[in-house]
Amino acid sequence: MTIALHGMGVSRGIAIGKAHVVKRDQLDIREYSIKKNRLDDEVKRFEDALTNARQQLRAIREHIPESTSADIEAFIDTHLLMLDDAALTKEPMRLIKELSCNAEWALKLQRDALVAVFDEMDDAYLRTRKDDVDYVVNRIQRLLLNQTPLIHEKADQRLTGYIIMANDLTPADTVLMQHNGIAAFATEFGGPTSHTAILARSLGIPAIVGLQNALRYIKDDEEIILDGSRGIILVDPERHELLHYQHLQKEEKRYFSKLGKLKNKPAITLDEVSIALDANIELPKDFETVVEVGAAGVGLYRTEFLYMNRETPPDEEEHYATYKGVIDVLKGLPLTIRTLDLGADKQVDGGRQSGPVTTNPALGLRAIRLCLKEPALFRPQLRAIIRASVHGPVRILIPMLSNVHEMQQVLQMVDDIKKELDEQNIPYDHELQIGGMIEVPAAAVCADIFAKYLDFLSIGTNDLIQYTMAIDRVNDEVNYLYDPLNPAVLRLVHTTIKAGKKENIPVAMCGEMAGETKYTRLLLGLGLREFSIHPATLLEVKQIIIDSNVSELQTLANKALKASNGIDVANIMRETTD
Ligand code: PEP
Ligand code: MG
């Protein structure tokens, strides 16, 4: 009999194959005492385990495939740093000596102490960091206990085509599995922003997370169907279910190969409205994909990666060289560089002294607020962008504006830098455009004021929804409220689009909402004419645009704007006007 399990689909696609269950058995850590004259040996045994753990992680780090997302690299780097942190290295050694106990026990005590500190934290993001402590501790414990590596921890083609079922996967696991050609992932824990989800999406592998207790119902080598769009797993499916999903899988493949042909087709609706489809990019290596999918340009280049895993922030020359390199790859396509958006969910070190732990980091010193407070961090980036503008079409995008004063300060800084460059005879594009992200409700409500001073606006729905609905975007407990169709969100989006029209400046959308095909028709109806989205979904959005009639969608969108909840909005958008 088929068993159906439900979780959260985080990477779409259908996989049919055998299950490989990754069970990290609860390690049996026992305390035993060590004689005084053997304590140095015990410390040495612990040090050796640390050295081996570092070697294992470094080996994985060195063989990360090109296609792996930067976040996964960052997770592994964090774990490597933790292996050098005194809290995990020196403290257990001290405990071995003080308590005359075995290394495993000392490490367990220290792990419990660290996790207790994380549990006390108010901030959901920091609370989840205790998983990282566990990943690292687990690796050391397994070495201390001489446990043999699990099958997926070795380069092993026997897993090719398998669907991996696990409680949770470490970032290192996901990299190793990537090498082994697995067909799909599913985990009992994790949310849409977990590294499993991020990796699966960047690889285009179907994945489901949050399948609580699923491992109880699945055995190794059992046949399963995983539907990453709907978040469903069917264990031991009946023949008719298998045939149905095989059919869906074929349809999916056909659909994607048809999409590939759209690359060079213009994004024009049935009633001849031309739409700009730009790409969102995070890493220089991703720029090739912009050209591959035929994007009109880059609507959002997130520059935070430049600050990841380093002790000092990048200087002007490093910024300049990076942007120039990117402009060269784009060969004349416009590039929108978003200035630094550090803080809250984007906790990269970047050589900044970590500030005080705040209760609500998303409402704290992040993005433009941080940049204006620390001009030494911001100015080199601004100067580098302005200098790079001489090499190709570049625009500056300012994140998280909440009042006009912030915008005026940035415009003033840009003017000062331009004067300075003039004096130094350094060339730049005198027409360089400056735009602002509308991602704080205060800015959306007053979008007409911003539109008077700026050259373009870009709606960041990821944050706009977070702040409008008062939900932390990384907190799984409240993500049910994260609804792009909520009337409050729609009205703010509509207000912003109208403000741009009134002042005759372009308004783009660069949040995830713009790349989700289920919202494309509504956004067209609301008047959006510029979408900036992940290259992976660009062609799907283009297909919907090509099949749409804007004048018909405007009627539906006007109706949707009067709806009282998101479900009614979705139903209205399913209607047609004839
Ligand atoms: C947004 O908030 O919608 C956005 C595009 O910016 P980020 O996701 O980088 O905060
Ligand atoms: Mg944002």
- Give the fold, CATH level 3, of 263-576: TIM Barrel (3.20.20)
- CATH code for the part of the protein at 3-24+155-258: 3.50.30.10
Residue 124 scores a pLDDT above 60 = no
CA 463 to ligand 1 centroid distance, Å: 6
CA 462 to ligand 1 centroid distance, Å: 5
| Of the listed ranges 51-65, 114-128, 447-461, the one predicted with least confidence | 114-128
- Take atom 6 of ligand 1 and give the residue whose Cα is closest: 460
Higher model confidence: residue 435 or residue 79? 435
Q: Report the nearest atom of ligand 1 relative to the CA of 511.
A: 3
195 is catalytic: yes
pLDDT, mean of residues 115-143: 76
Q: pLDDT tens across 423-477, in order? A: 999 999 999 999 999 999 999 999 999 999 999 999 999 999 999 999 887 676 7
CA distance 539 to 40: 62
CA 394 to ligand 1 centroid distance, Å: 19
- Take atom 1 of ligand 1 and give the residue whose Cα is closest: 460
Q: Report the nearest atom of ligand 1 relative to the CA of 304.
A: 9
Q: Report the nearest atom of ligand 1 relative to the CA of 461.
A: 3
CA distance 454 to 505: 8
Q: Report the nearest atom of ligand 1 relative to the CA of 345.
A: 10
The catalytic position among 79, 195, 319, 534 is: 195
CA 87 to ligand 2 centroid distance, Å: 33
CA 465 to ligand 2 centroid distance, Å: 10
- Strand ranges, E, within 329-451: 335-338, 394-398, 433-438
CA 241 to ligand 2 centroid distance, Å: 41
Please tell me the predicted confidence (pLDDT) of residue 360.
Answer: 79
Whose tokens are 């980091």? That residue is: 361
pLDDT, mean of residues 381-397: 98
CB 378 within 8 A of CB 339: yes
- Provide the pairing of β-strand 530-533 with 507-509: parallel
- Take atom 9 of ligand 1 and give the residue whose Cα is closest: 302
Residue 479 scores a pLDDT above 70 = yes
- Please report which ligand is nearest the Cα atom of 346: 1
Residue 351 scores a pLDDT above 50 = no
pLDDT, mean of residues 42-59: 91
- Take atom 8 of ligand 1 and give the residue whose Cα is closest: 462
pTM (2 d.p.): 0.72
| Of the listed ranges 53-57, 193-197, 244-248, the one predicted with least confidence | 193-197
- Please report which ligand is nearest the Cα atom of 462: 1
| Of the listed ranges 234-243, 437-446, 568-577, the one predicted with least confidence | 568-577
- Please report which ligand is nearest the Cα atom of 304: 1
CA distance 138 to 135: 5
Q: Report the nearest atom of ligand 1 relative to the CA of 458.
A: 5
Please tell me the predicted confidence (pLDDT) of residue 333.
Answer: 95
The catalytic position among 79, 152, 510, 534 is: 510
Whose tokens are 């000596």? That residue is: 97
pLDDT, mean of residues 93-97: 94
**Coil, strand or helix at 516:** coil
Q: What is the mean pLDDT of the chain?
A: 88
CB 342 within 8 A of CB 304: yes
- Take atom 7 of ligand 1 and give the residue whose Cα is closest: 462
For the chain, domain boundaries = 3-24+155-258, 36-149, 263-576
Report residues whose beta carbon is within 6 angstroms of any ligand 1 atom: 300, 302, 341, 439, 460-463, 510-511
510 is catalytic: yes
CA distance 213 to 516: 30
- Strand ranges, E, within 286-426: 298-302, 335-338, 394-398
Residue 400 scores a pLDDT above 90 = yes
- Give the fold, CATH level 3, of 36-149: Enzyme I; Chain A, domain 2 (1.10.274)
- Take atom 4 of ligand 1 and give the residue whose Cα is closest: 460
CB 160 within 8 A of CB 181: yes
Pick from 146, 155, 172: nearest CA to 49: 146
| Of the listed ranges 354-368, 458-472, 546-560, the one predicted with least confidence | 354-368
